[in-house]
Amino acid sequence: MDDPRPILLLLYLVAGHALVDFALQSEAMALGKCPHAQHPAARAVPWYYWLAAHALLHGTAVGLVCQWMGLTPAGTLALALAETLAHALIDLGKCRGWYGIHRDQALHLLCKLLWWCLALGAFPSSGGL
Whole-number Å distance between alpha carbons of 21 and 58: 8
* pTM for the whole structure: 0.92
Does 4 sit behind a cis peptide bond, omega within 30 degrees of 0 on the bond before it?
no
Cβ 86 vs Cβ 51: under 8 Å: no
Contact 79, 118 (CB under 8 A): yes
Q: 13-64, pLDDT tens digit by residue? A: 999 999 999 999 999 999 999 999 998 988 899 999 999 999 999 999 999 9
For the cut 60, the answer to whether the pLDDT of residue 127 exceeds it is no
- pLDDT at residue number 128: 52
Q: How many beta carbons lie within 10 A of that of residue 91, not counting itself?
A: 22
Asked if 64 and 114 touch (Cβ cutoff 8 Å), the reply is no
Q: What is the pLDDT of residues 60-118, one digit of tens each?
A: 999 999 999 999 999 999 999 999 999 999 999 999 999 999 999 999 999 999 999 99
